[in-house]
Structure 1
């Protein structure tokens, strides 16, 4: 019997298999709701159709996820972090068992029937993306350079003749020029490193997403100048990581960071689900 109380929260699209259904049987998602597969049709007992797709869903309270409440709660960073973490944990659980196509945070339908109709409408798009992601995982590659540091003290050194000293202003400008040259050298090193990374990674995959460089606390004391995501075949990941580690060891003045495997958030991005106007509400993309 379908529970028609509350809203249907959708985390992702995945192949509909008994193995995945069993793996999700005790998983809880947003607001502690039990997670389950919502297939294209109401399945017969024990039936499994090869190639079938399903939404991964749970139920959430309508008064907590209606449009007005969501608008206010997306300004609450504590609540947003809690929901994002629960959403991510469900997606990662799916990724450990099968191919997963993550959907936006807070993708909501009025009920299971409307969610199932949306799944059927966009089935061809989801199937294409699932086929692309099959047997692949997302890996992040970041490139950092250290900052040149603040200008030194304005007291200047003696001039080459040893009889006078530079004025504080001239000494300051001299050190600023030296600092600028050092930073330019670092950027040139970073450009060469980025070029070599791109050539190397092209041997493993043709699928890349270039994200904006990170700043502030996300980047730490270094400057992030490259923040790419790659979709790498699972049987090539060890050689992929080994090759990047060897490349990083050969580069001076820069640091390469490789992270993963991740669920393929950067490569999900299907077109909008195009439901009827009152069928779905979606929060901002992750």
Structure 2
């Protein structure tokens, strides 16, 4: 059997609309391949005489060289950070382009099928799930909200002497006093960050947005500050300005904390529903569920 020369690379799921088809015209994705829509096959295009046909779902696809994306080659490529960065950037640009024109459901990097027929079969199998997610995402955008605690105050210089003290404290005592003051300020900042997080929770409930919690960033990603909250919110487009204005006011009276809002983004954080909670494991000793 002859191996296929090309594979079908899938970026996302969208509604098959004229707007979406126009949006992909001239767009190139991974390996500089042309992007198009691959619509699902339906038995009927219209449900009643003169009625507008229901929107079909479509994969956003391009055809890539099989020898570059077959299983063995792909495994090696995923260890090549330069190659992986280029593919990720191209994938993201396609998704972001579609997100400007309507609801888009991003799929994971390097989602591949042997050909268009296999891709359509996969689209049909997951249609109900895809349609439900598209309905959730319509007229909404993803926004990132991060909460930071500022770095400690610099320890340069000598701590001020308390009033009424006799003489000047030794350098060691002055240093310890300064460190204690830093510690107390740091505790105040953590309390302020907790207060800010509670205010954000209240705000989110008011706007009725969906939220996904991501792990706080560490190291170089967070910079000199400490990232203590890293959430994504699915915000209705007509509430975006009110949402951002409310967030900007959350920490204005709280020292040592900063809120960063980014977006709008394609809704990667909301592409699939969260996994159901795992059932409690049975205790091998027979004493009930394991914790």
Q: Does 1:233 align with 2:236?
A: yes
Report deviation, 1:95: 0.7
Query: Separation in 1 of the partners of 2:100 and 2:159?
Result: 60
Alpha carbons 1:87, 1:105 under 8 Å: kept: yes
Q: For residue 35 of structure 2, what is the aligned residue in structure 1?
A: 35
Q: Does 1:261 align with 2:264?
A: yes
SS in 2 for 1:124: helix
SS in 2 for 1:247: coil
Query: Separation in 2 of the partners of 1:23 and 1:156?
Result: 62
TM-score by length of 1: 0.84
For structure 1, the residue ranges without an aligned partner over 5 or more in a row are 273-286
SS in 1 for 2:260: strand
Alpha carbons 2:5, 2:67 under 8 Å: kept: no
1:209-224 equivalences in 2 (<5 Å): 209-224=212-227
Runs of 4+ in 1 over 4 A off after TM superposition: 149-153, 155-161
SS in 1 for 2:108: strand
SS in 2 for 1:26: coil
Q: For residue 285 of structure 2, what is the aligned residue in structure 1?
A: none
Query: Separation in 2 of the partners of 1:60 and 1:271?
Result: 31
Q: Deviations over 1:230-264 (max 9, x none)?
A: 11111111111111123343433211111111111
Choose from 76, 81, 86 the match for 2:85: 81
Report deviation, 1:9: 0.7
SS in 1 for 2:255: coil
Could you say what the CA RMSD is over the residues aligned between the two structures, in angstroms? 2.6
Report deviation, 1:117: 0.3
Query: Separation in 2 of the partners of 1:187 and 1:181?
Result: 10
Query: Separation in 1 of the partners of 2:248 and 2:168?
Result: 50
TM-score by length of 2: 0.83
Q: Deviations over 1:35-84 (max 9, x none)?
A: 0111112999xxx9423101100011112112222222222221111111
Number of residue-to-residue matches in the alignment:
265
Q: For residue 105 of structure 1, what is the aligned residue in structure 2?
A: 109
Alpha carbons 2:27, 2:34 under 8 Å: kept: yes
| Gap change, CA 1:167 and 1:240, over 3 Å in 2 | closer
For structure 2, the residue ranges without an aligned partner over 5 or more in a row are 45-51, 276-291
